[in-house]
Structure 1
Amino acid sequence: MSLTTLVGGFPIWFYVALALPLVLNFWAITHAFYREFPTIQEKMVWLCLVVFVPVVGAVIYLFVGKKRGKSIK
């Protein structure tokens, strides 16, 4: 099976390209949810940003918000 194999009329790479933003969003939501931020308001802002502005919010969280949260252990 190659990457050009058609599934439902589209090549497999097309489905992979569609899934990447979803995976990034789910990762950002779970990462922010299980981290401790300086305030609960900041945590809620990050979660709302990722949920309501999906791809852009996840990318911003990846570069800015990821460093602000500390692991809960």
Structure 2
Amino acid sequence: MALGALGGWKPLLLVVLSAVMIGLWLAALRDIGRRNFKTSLSKWQWIAIVVFLPIVGALAYIFWGRGDNT
């Protein structure tokens, strides 16, 4: 089946964006797991935020949460 039969570039864009979002989510979780935080509660809070708000939580952690560690 040709890509054109599926509606052009839209399915490809959906796959690429999904892969980027999943990669971002996994990278945030991996980084949280490897970092030492000031408290273990802080680490669990970030895990909960990233798990329950996948894209927003991952972006928030990458921009603001990475400075929480010691």
The answer to whether the superposition gives a TM-score over 0.5 is yes
Distance 2:21 2:27 in 1: 10
TM-score (norm. length: structure 2): 0.80
Per-residue deviation, 1:8? 8.1
Q: Which residue of 1 aligns with 2:53?
A: 53
Per-residue deviation, 1:54? 0.5
Identity score, percent: 30
Q: Secondary structure at the match of 1:37?
A: coil
Q: Secondary structure at the match of 1:32?
A: helix
Gaps (5+ residues) in structure 2?
Answer: none
Q: Which residue of 1 aligns with 2:16?
A: 16
- Residues 1-73 of structure 1 mapped to structure 2, 5 A cutoff: 6=3, 9=6, 11=9, 12-70=12-70
TM-score (norm. length: structure 1): 0.77
Aligned partners of 1:32 and 1:69 also within 8 Å:
no
Distance 2:16 2:66 in 1: 24
Q: Number of matched residues? A: 66
Distance 2:5 2:63 in 1: 35
Gaps (5+ residues) in structure 1?
Answer: none
